[in-house]
Each structure stands twice: as structure tokens, then as C-alpha cells.
């Protein structure tokens, strides 16, 4: 009986470590994203328009910027999501994973454009992809969930907004 109790305590301790470790690193990444977004907001103009609003002809012609981002869920999130699928409902942990991937991909586009000398992007597009084989193929499924995003945008020089 004591071996069973010790095993149960050991499992609970590891689950708690995994849960709180995941929360710590996820919150740290979200805080990093918020700080980087605040910096980029001061320097860059972002629009979904296909044209270049405020375009200023310069020695830098408009350029296509493409980046990719892959963020994986840990096994605890995947396990809890499988339990949630039994009863139905929203998988909030995967929603946060998608949000982090979208924000990271957008920031990478902005940072790459800024480092190249541009101050605006337009026609920002995000495409998701299956990199871990999570789609059913031959009846096998991958163990871990991953979010892969390909982000593309056109970078250009725009006139600074009037102050």
C-alpha cells in the first residue's frame, strides 16, 4: 500500500512540475512577445491592404518577406487536450498555442523588414501547415501537437505618419 501511495505522490509531483513549468515558460514567452510588439509598434506600420499606403519611392524597392515559425505543445497539454476531447468543448491550451505562433510569426516578419531598412509592411498573410504528421495517415498519429505558420508580407518604405 505504501508503494502505491509513493508512486501516486511521485506521479502527482511530476504532473505539478510539468504544469507549473509549462505555465512559467508560456508566460515568459507571452511577456517577451508583448515587449517586442511594443518596440515594433513604434517603428513599423502594418496593414492588410494589398497596396502600399503612403509609399515613398526610394532606393529600397518593395520586397517580399517570408518567415516560418513552429511552436510545439508539451505532452501534458496534449494529454489534457485528449481528455477534453472525450467530453467536448474548447481546447484553450491549443488556442493559446495558436495565438503565440501567430504573434511570433508576425513579429518575425516585422523584425526582418525593419532590419532590412523598411518601415512598413502590407498584405500580411499567415498560412498554417502540418509538420508533425498530426493528420491521419495510415492510422498513425504523432504524439505531440505542433503549430507551424508561414508568414509573408510585402515590406516597403512609407512616409512617416504626421505628428
pLDDT of 137: 43
The region of weakest confidence among 28-32, 88-92, 135-139 is 135-139
pLDDT of 133: 57
- Residue 140 Cα distances to 21, 83, 88, 132, 134, angstroms: 29, 19, 22, 11, 8
pLDDT of 60: 87
> Can you read off the three cell numbers belonging to residue 35?
515587449
Most confident of 15-29, 30-44, 70-84, 87-101: 30-44
102 Cβ neighbours under 8 A, 6+ residues apart? 126, 149
Percent of the chain with pLDDT over 90: 37
pLDDT of 116 higher than 70? yes
pLDDT of 142 higher than 60? no
pTM to 2 decimal places: 0.80
Maximum CA pair distance of the chain? 78
Q: For strands 45-46 and 146-156, give the pairing.
A: unpaired
Amino acid at each position: 500500500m505504501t508503494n502505491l501511495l509513493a508512486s501516486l505522490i511521485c506521479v502527482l509531483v511530476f504532473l505539478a512540475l510539468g504544469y507549473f513549468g509549462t505555465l512559467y515558460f508560456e508566460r515568459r514567452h507571452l511577456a517577451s512577445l508583448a515587449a517586442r510588439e511594443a518596440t515594433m509598434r513604434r517603428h513599423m506600420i502594418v496593414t492588410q491592404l494589398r497596396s502600399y499606403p503612403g509609399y515613398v519611392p526610394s532606393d529600397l524597392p518593395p520586397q517580399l518577406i517570408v518567415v516560418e515559425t513552429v511552436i510545439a505543445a508539451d505532452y501534458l497539454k496534449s494529454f489534457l487536450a485528449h481528455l477534453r476531447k472525450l467530453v467536448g468543448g474548447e481546447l484553450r491550451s491549443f488556442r493559446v498555442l495558436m495565438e503565440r505562433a501567430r504573434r511570433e510569426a508576425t513579429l518575425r516578419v516585422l523584425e526582418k523588414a525593419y532590419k532590412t531598412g523598411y518601415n512598413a509592411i502590407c498584405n500580411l498573410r499567415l498560412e498554417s501547415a502540418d509538420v508533425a504528421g498530426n493528420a491521419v495517415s495510415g492510422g498513425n498519429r504523432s504524439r505531440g501537437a505542433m503549430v507551424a505558420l508561414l508568414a509573408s508580407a510585402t515590406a516597403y518604405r512609407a512616409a512617416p505618419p504626421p505628428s
